Structure 1
């Protein structure tokens, strides 16, 4: 859920539309349009309705947000926790009511298994592979595939906070032991089942540029995806010459080594990436994978 805040005195401004565009880009399923400072416009329904209509018309884009408008006064608490006596014309829920009752989708534990390896723990002759389970459920006895190598093995033990467990559910942080001494390292990913990620060096998606340093075609960057960091080169910016701070755009990258990708619509963890400046480690761009 995202809350887009609007000043009732100024209505929908460029920043409002940018926030709505970012919410759409991130595929946020629920948007609350909180029209604040209603006390400064006399708690007028006409002003509120005008802002709601303006937002609905101008914040469309390719994926118009599904939004719920709420008139509020944060200063005086109107429609924040308790219903406002000043706006009896408003029959909808308060902001808190919305936050407490908004429906949520299926949890990450119900999704396909994605376990990015963060580090390797050597204990005697055994190796444990530690990380945060990005999605799905892992169980002792499950067959898993290691990406990008494609080798397979079986989980023989799962450890959570020093305690052996039979299963782990996203987003738990655990360490797992495999039946074989496989060559598994930080940045590799374990999956289970037939629903596997796309293994590719070609990355395409939507991006939001985060810094004043422009991003141009031909730039060499580091691509950080889950726990894996590889070199990459920008091949295309959707026809744009460059991206500057706060620009939204499209990108095509080629990486030096394969990445195990899901579409962002499927997984916000394995479908997201960052572009890093190799010179100083600064974060340049946040991206969402399209497949």
Structure 2
């Protein structure tokens, strides 16, 4: 299998408090030589001041000085590194239950999730919560890292027991691909290099798995969805007649000559040209950013969607959403919000809270309709004008929305269309 060296992999990390996420990420960065010399020197100096022999790997991921001094990591920290095979963005999210919203935020665009389990404790409630959120967000690949194997004598029996625990409950979730790796982030076993202490494990180290995940197959190539972000009308004389429609292809493939329909207007035309930057191409596919021209001079504006005539999303003013409430302030009954869907922006309201979800037990709560921070719930949303929506399970781009408070302009919720 050929991996594109420029292909970007986004992955999120999740685990309970003290499961070793910061140490694991530090080990990935350190052993893959993705850290500058001055960073290494600074961390070595801080480690010595703390009385630690060697390097405290967790310091590589502690973003703010105040957090580091308190010994805690909060919010979502994004880290970037590159190996010869791939580029990576890590979303490091806290494990505390009160930071559910941060995991949802960090995982929303992830291709993979790395879930850490302490080998001494096995599967706990927080493990189940993280797995459920990964399932809810349709993250295609889950890498379960059973950490601190050095503290259980690198026991294959302990590893197999935890693997069976995870499989027992995750089989009820919608997860496509689960892989298990026994590791010691502190000592580097099976993180970048294969472990000499666990030769019974025949799988690959974590970094190899991340470098070789085949993520192009996760993109919806069937449903052609092109939300228009802007209309290009150059002022230069030689481009006076040019009218291009620019945006990022959400899914599917577009070719010059394809018959298309523009929604919500319903006008039809054919694709005249496609440009990726300054290069003319015959075809384009998700997630490319392109500019298209059409053979007919029709009215197209930001928020419209260019589609195939025989494959259209549902145009709806009312739909169900699995919503995560992100804001410190509770939702007000029937309050008005701005809804953002692809490049479209409309007025909307939460018409009804169908049920809330206890993400520790997966049980529905039917008698509590208040929306507070970190709540995950199923709601009915009504918009002033129709949106072209797909179910999130079919299309993560056209199936997702965010709600913005009209007064404060704060993002208050993110949701997946059911």
Normalised by the length of structure 2, the TM-score is 0.64
Query: 1:109·1:137 contact (CA, 8 Å) conserved in 2?
Result: no
Shift of 1:100: 4.0
Aligned to 2:312: 196
Which residue of 233, 248, 256 corresponds with 1:140? 256
Q: 1:8 to 1:227 in 2, by over 3 A?
A: same
Q: CA separation in 2, counterparts of 1:77 and 1:53? A: 24
Higher helix content, 1 or 2: 2
* 2:118 is equivalent to residue 7 of structure 1: yes
Higher strand content, 1 or 2: 1
Which residue of 174, 182, 186 corresponds with 1:71? 182
Query: 1:158·1:176 contact (CA, 8 Å) conserved in 2?
Result: yes
SS in 1 for 2:354: coil
Aligned to 1:121: 232
Aligned to 2:346: 230
How many equivalent pairs are there? Answer: 290
Query: 1:217·1:241 contact (CA, 8 Å) conserved in 2?
Result: no
Query: 1:2·1:32 contact (CA, 8 Å) conserved in 2?
Result: yes
Q: 1:169 to 1:68 in 2, by over 3 A?
A: closer
* 2:310 is equivalent to residue 172 of structure 1: no
Shift of 1:61: 4.7
Q: 1:62 to 1:83 in 2, by over 3 A?
A: closer
SS in 1 for 2:217: coil
Which residue of 103, 110, 123 corresponds with 2:221? 110
SS in 2 for 1:53: helix
Shift of 1:12: 2.8
Q: CA separation in 2, counterparts of 1:108 and 1:42? A: 41
SS in 1 for 2:310: coil
Stretch of structure 1 that moved more, 159-168 or 183-192 = 159-168
Query: 2:132·2:173 contact (CA, 8 Å) conserved in 1?
Result: no
Query: 1:207·1:248 contact (CA, 8 Å) conserved in 2?
Result: yes
Shift of 1:46: 4.1
Q: 5+ unaligned residues in a row in structure 1: which ranges?
A: none
Aligned to 2:152: 41
Q: CA separation in 1, counterparts of 2:183 and 2:310? A: 48
Query: 1:144·1:154 contact (CA, 8 Å) conserved in 2?
Result: yes
Query: 2:140·2:218 contact (CA, 8 Å) conserved in 1?
Result: no
Query: What root-mean-square deviation, in Å, do the aligned CA atoms of Structure 1 and Structure 2 show?
Result: 2.3
* 2:387 is equivalent to residue 259 of structure 1: yes
Which residue of 193, 196, 212 corresponds with 1:85? 196
Q: 5+ unaligned residues in a row in structure 2: which ranges?
A: 1-111, 235-239, 356-367
SS in 2 for 1:51: helix
Q: CA separation in 2, counterparts of 1:50 and 1:25? A: 25
Aligned to 2:378: 250
* 2:137 is equivalent to residue 26 of structure 1: yes
- Residues 87-140 of structure 1 deviation map (CA, whole Å, 9 limit, x = unaligned): 234333322343344455636473221110001111324321111111122222
Q: CA separation in 2, counterparts of 1:177 and 1:214? A: 45
